[in-house]
Structure 1
């Protein structure tokens, strides 16, 4: 009997040991089964409702493929102000907000340099691929890493990172600090893809071959609607009072002959403001996959692609235009051919893609106003005149203010000291004054954000966008649907839903199929991709992995 019990115990022990050993083995397979390529796509100025509004016009291989095969986060928002291109791209890839990554706007006033600086500008590097200064760019002003940086570290630099966009900042900030290269499009009279010495000292052969191929020049043609314009029922009339258009054409109406218009619209730069800029970006992204052998082994590579032309078209023609509808119909076709290229060259099921936006956009206030929806335009001259009088009457000089930009007021520290003024008291006095001006909704001081922790409302968004070292002393918020812009076209930058609600789609390897209405925020993207890759989160990440997305 004892012998039987002994063998039973041995069998149970061995069975238990086998079970315990099996689980780590399974986990090991899961961790090492990484995608060969991660593709991050940012569609510049894409509101969430572009997915639903133009849905009937999309094919099955672009946006719908991502939705039907992947995961759709339908309540995805930016969780900070301001919603601009530079901060947007940085936040998507660093997993945090301007409070930590430091990219507080596209351009901002540098309190140490006493000058405006550009988020990607870098005079210490040189252009590569052009003699123009357009290549003097790098990510040096972004203070934290991207998930692409962390993948480079994790793979001992064996995993490549390439960033691509028409806009320099749309290529540079996502790729991060340790990227192999970032490439952006230099238009004017050249029409070439360039980089900077921050990454390398010459263009690789595949880039030179692409530039020599005259692919960019091939898009100088007529831009007419992809489908019959009478079927574009999801947008307003083609001729209206709310669109900008191009120099050399009296009306902002289809068709647009780009050959005839290019000379009056900065040459190759006109392509940026048409859907052909997105097509050119797709062409170049596919060339990069081939030229860099991306996704050809089991060490994960990262390709970041930003479609910038959607932003140029939106700024010019507005949210409700036929031009924006046609641009998204054509982008859907570009996505379809891009995904087919990935299937053929990396392997279906071997790559992971996410798609989001860097911000949304507001309907043209003049259009909203015609429908009796509260909206309008800020009178900056009136504000400036009143504020200058207040400063002179209160402090005897306007020099206590050093700069006003990005809805922020920067005080002059030397002048405050000279006049014996208390900084916090001056901040409060200015805030009280500014709040009395027309179309200013809320005003907050730096002291408030330095001493208060907001968790909800617009205050939390402002705090997430406030960088203690770089932001101003007083932060201004305009009324809902009031903008500082021309009366045609649209813009962005607020913490309101039209600027914060953007798509978030995942599909490919490691991604479940489904959707959620639970709120997700932009900083969640980078930790989610990091979790799929089994790598460290970006060093300043504040977002959380979206576990319900991961297979």
Structure 2
């Protein structure tokens, strides 16, 4: 018999009430798992080979099969912020991994903070990080307020933004990986000195070349029959003659530094090890104070691997088969520590990923291509100078163009005049589908324009570029993301544990729906800018 399809609405709500009862018990912990760059379809494509944590999530969890982001660009930082705030980028403020601020004429990294330093260590810039750029509360912040700080809130990731944004403004312990030192660090925003257990962990894992393994296929060759041939022209070689497995990660670490571990499944293993150490070092007082705790884990390595090899690669499939085992190890530890059913897990992703456009061109004979950002900018400037007599572009990034207002004014042009000329130039360039001003975005009925509406605020650019499907700015090999097409917006969404029923839900949901859902489960205030709809399939029903 297949799994149930959970339904709500109308008379079906009464049927659903048999699955849930009023008075949903408060979980001892919420474990938030974000898999960087995970497509929703991986759950189906790799399903027959899962035997660990993904198997358990799919068998025991509420699986929302049609969950999407409703903003662009679809990058790591906006995704993590949206997961934990339930807000759109224009409200939570994290409009990219980095962005240009026309008010100050400076580039801003999403979690940069020059007022803090690496805690308990040499004060390098890797520790100059905090959530100060996050403009609204997270559900973890609201949990902190609801329990007056009794809830433990911990977060870990390879990427700083993957830990800091989930940790919210009052994370107790928030750690990320310093690719130069090979250690997990935090900043003085959280603490002046790192706990002894973190120092011990870093010492124990000080030689990552010895910790890492040669990356070979986990399973028999026939397991990967639906992947691209391992030796192909669409993947990164890391300086080798071929792009195939095995890949000697220890040698790459010795040659290029400890950060190379992020480019292998061992990066996921390292994060799991750290998360389990954090779990073991939560104080007994906090574990037993009847306040729900939080463990937020973001697995960054799938993003590094996906960028290098692409979604159809042997390497990506093998990464998820190995991550399946890591999640199984994590859930077993949680069962032992907290008791099965006493915690809630959610798993989602910060964005998806496109196919390698050159593979799409060759395989499906589609009009698809990668584009060079520097070449595109040079072409834009050249054509603008021909049409206008000067270069009006101050900044071009994240598919957005900021005009040099001083240069425009001195040349006798308004920004609107320049926008009209530049739009005409850009729309004739290869791969560009549409060009919008902020005003056009606000009133457009085009779906992709409406998605960009979610990032318009005081830092808005003067023009935004929309690419045709299968076109984007990136290199010839590997793959990337950032668009509003389904390959970038469609992500997994699974909740499991506590009173959450198992089953599959096919109605369209949005990532912004997660934060209000968790808020209702926990009985806490909604994050201040959370405008999503709670996923009622996992909430207590109202009895007649």
Q: TM-score, normalised by structure 2?
A: 0.91
Shift of 1:550: 2.2
- Confirm whether residue 287 of structure 1 aligns to residue 280 of structure 2: no
Equivalent residue for 1:160, pick from 138, 152, 159: 152
How do residues 73-84 of structure 1 correspond to structure 2 at under 5 angstroms? 73-84=64-75
Q: 3-state SS of the aligned residue for 2:245?
A: coil
Aligned to 1:90: 81
Shift of 1:420: 4.7
Shift of 1:365: 1.2
Q: CA RMSD in A?
A: 1.9
Q: Is the 8 A contact 1:72 1:514 kept in 2?
A: yes
- Confirm whether residue 238 of structure 1 aligns to residue 230 of structure 2: yes
How do residues 58-457 of structure 1 correspond to structure 2 at under 5 angstroms? 58-59=50-51, 61-131=52-122, 132-188=124-180, 190-214=181-205, 217=208, 218-247=210-239, 249-265=240-256, 267-293=257-283, 295-371=287-363, 372-380=365-373, 383-398=376-391, 400-450=392-442, 452=443, 454=445, 457=447
Aligned to 1:521: 510
2: distance between equivalents of 1:137 and 1:408? 25
1: distance between equivalents of 2:294 and 2:334? 13
Q: Would the alpha carbon gap of residues 280 and 379 (structure 1) be closer, same or farther in structure 2, given more than 3 Å must change?
A: closer
Q: 3-state SS of the aligned residue for 2:466?
A: strand
Q: 3-state SS of the aligned residue for 2:58?
A: helix
What is the CA deviation profile of residues 140-172 of structure 1, one whole-angstrom value per residue up to 9, with x for unaligned ones?
A: 111111100110011111112111100000000
Q: Is the 8 A contact 2:130 2:189 kept in 1?
A: yes
Q: 3-state SS of the aligned residue for 2:514?
A: helix
What is the CA deviation profile of residues 455-498 of structure 1, one whole-angstrom value per residue up to 9, with x for unaligned ones?
A: x621211112x231122110001111012111111110010011
Shift of 1:392: 2.5
Q: Which residues of structure 1 form unaligned runs of 5+?
A: 1-25
Q: 3-state SS of the aligned residue for 2:186?
A: strand
Shift of 1:113: 2.5
2: distance between equivalents of 1:199 and 1:517? 40
Shift of 1:215: 6.9
What is the CA deviation profile of residues 410-447 of structure 1, one whole-angstrom value per residue up to 9, with x for unaligned ones?
A: 12233344445333333233223211211100111012
2: distance between equivalents of 1:149 and 1:325? 35
Aligned to 1:475: 464
Q: Which residues of structure 2 form unaligned runs of 5+?
A: 1-19
Shift of 1:187: 2.5
Shift of 1:530: 0.6
Shift of 1:281: 0.5
2: distance between equivalents of 1:233 and 1:215? 37
Q: Is the 8 A contact 2:30 2:345 kept in 1?
A: yes
2: distance between equivalents of 1:64 and 1:374? 37
2: distance between equivalents of 1:377 and 1:447? 29
What is the CA deviation profile of residues 88-146 of structure 1, one whole-angstrom value per residue up to 9, with x for unaligned ones?
A: 10111110111211111111112123121111111111112542321111111111111
How do residues 38-49 of structure 1 correspond to structure 2 at under 5 angstroms? 38-49=30-41
